[in-house]
Amino acid sequence: MKFKCDSEKFKESISIVEKAVAQKSSLPVLENVFLELTGADLKLRGNNLEIGIENQVSVENQGAEGQLLVKAKTLSGIISKIDDKELSISVNESQQLEIKGEKVDFAIHGSQTNDYPLFPPIENGTSLTLSVKDIRELIKHTIIAVSYDETKQFLNGILVKNEGDKLLFVATDGYRLSMKKQSISPLEEPVNVIIPFKAVNELNRILQNESSEKTLTMTLANNQVSFKMDKFLLVSRIIQGQFPDYNQVIPSSSLNTFLVKREEFLAAAERASIIASASNNVVRFTFSNTASIQANAKGLGDFKEEIPIQQIEGEEEVKIAFNIRLLLDVIKTLTVDTLALSFNNELSPCKVSLENDDSFTYIIMPIRTTDYQS
């Protein structure tokens, strides 16, 4: 293997695939980056048996193709510290990877690729193509509600399923539920899989550096899912288990609906959270002609603020309490000017949605407080 490459592109490619490299594993081979040179294309792979990432970078082939495994941590550490714009890279007879620039000369030990696990092909899967912008929006609006409770593995990811001409991403941790819909062409087969948080999170990080207009192909099968774009591929296992029936959580109707300005609501909620942080994050809301926001913590102090709102449904004053951190998560995620809050009473789930737009739904369970019991 012998080639020349742009150091920045090589560095970027390593940073992408090393997200799937095992840090410490009972299988040492998984701690490596897989390098494969074919023609003018250098493929880099990382694989920890849960997710695998492949990225391809164009290089100047200098007449020798081949494959090699190199310790990911070592390679990443070296490349991140090199200032040279162009690198000459080759493999010698001792399976050493030689990295040379104008000012540097490294030789690091490599190993053969025989024992490195292949990416399993996704057979009999259902594929659909989305823009980078759309997939980022789907992830952004739902990843906030993923559960980290490892005893409930079926909640440790995002449910992906189709309903007619809609693709749904849904996540819940038992205290809140977030659902985002995207219009698609109807699929021939139904899909219903849970993609692990780690896979979705790494995909989201990688897509932040991609153009919104690019497209990405998602293929869903019974045991795994893949995301493919240009010279990039991410493959992940899916979570086995039954995702809760989210339709049972979403209220079919609400007696009270209020519209609030997002930025005003966010600012007031953040101020309330300063005091609430010392009292289990409990913040009390009273909705009427205005929204009164209150928090108190023994030994710390009290907070109260009123902000203007618009009452769409309901006539009487209603009270409800929330964990303010769960409410802040959704207010910070959204970028719209106005939010709609709907609920029946102080014990019923509250729905946060967009005005005149049913593409997003966020359900937050209230906190029972003796002050607010009827």
Using a pLDDT cut of 90, give the percent of the chain over it.
Answer: 87
Asked whether residue 179 carries a pLDDT value surpassing 80, the answer given is yes
What does pLDDT average to over the chain?
Answer: 94
Instruction: Determine the pLDDT at residue 123.
Output: 74
- Number of independent structural domains in the chain: 3
Question: Token pair 């240009």 is at which residue?
Answer: 230
Instruction: Determine the pLDDT at residue 371.
Output: 60
Q: Are residues 223 and 255 in the same domain?
A: no
Of 247, 279, 298, the residue that ends a domain is 247
The closest alpha carbon to 179, from 140, 217, 208, belongs to: 140
Instruction: Tell me the pLDDT tens digit for each residue of 318-344.
Output: 999 999 999 999 999 999 999 999 999
Q: Is the distance from CB of 261 to CB of 292 less than 8 angstroms?
A: no
Instruction: Determine the pLDDT at residue 373.
Output: 46
Q: Are residues 199 and 267 in the same domain?
A: no
Residue 221 lies in a domain: yes
Question: Which tokens go with 274?
Answer: 């300063």
Asked whether residue 23 carries a pLDDT value surpassing 80, the answer given is yes
Of 79, 111, 143, the residue that ends a domain is 111
Q: What would the mean pLDDT of 238-252 be, rounded to a whole number?
A: 93
Instruction: Tell me the pLDDT tens digit for each residue of 87-99.
Output: 999 999 899 999 9
Asked whether residue 262 carries a pLDDT value surpassing 80, the answer given is yes
**Side chain identity at 338, as an amino acid letter?**
T
Of 88, 111, 134, the residue that ends a domain is 111
Asked whether residue 238 carries a pLDDT value surpassing 60, the answer given is yes
Residue 118 lies in a domain: no
Instruction: Determine the pLDDT at residue 11.
Output: 95
Instruction: Tell me the pLDDT tens digit for each residue of 270-314.
Output: 999 999 999 999 999 999 999 999 999 998 999 999 999 999 999
Residue 360 lies in a domain: yes
Using a pLDDT cut of 70, give the percent of the chain over it.
Answer: 99
Domain enclosing residue 35, as ranges:
2-111
Residue 135 lies in a domain: yes
- Residue 216 belongs to domain with CATH number: 3.10.150.10
pLDDT band at 122 (very low <50, low <70, confident <90, very high): confident
Instruction: Tell me the pLDDT tens digit for each residue of 49-71.
Output: 999 999 999 999 988 899 999 99
Q: Are residues 214 and 270 in the same domain?
A: no
pLDDT band at 222 (very low <50, low <70, confident <90, very high): confident
Residue 340 lies in a domain: yes
Angle between helices 132-142 and 197-207 (to 10 degrees): 130
SS (H, E, C) the chain: CEEEEEHHHHHHHHHHHHHHCCCCCCCHHHHEEEEEEECCEEEEEEECCCEEEEEEEECEEEEECEEEEEEHHHHHHHHHCCCCCEEEEEECCCCEEEEECCCCEEEEEEECCCCCCCCCCCCCCEEEEEEHHHHHHHHHHHHHHCCCCCCCHHHCEEEEEEECCEEEEEEECCCEEEEEEEECCCCCCCCEEEEEHHHHHHHHHHHCCCCCCCEEEEEECCCEEEEEECCEEEEEECECCCCCCHHHCCCCCCCEEEEEEHHHHHHHHHHHHHHHCCCCCEEEEEECCEEEEEEEECCCEEEEEEEEEEEEECCCCEEEEEEHHHHHHHHHHCCCCEEEEEECCCCCCEEEEECCEEEEEEEECCCCCHHHCC
Residue 289 lies in a domain: yes
Which position has the higher pLDDT, 209 or 159? 159
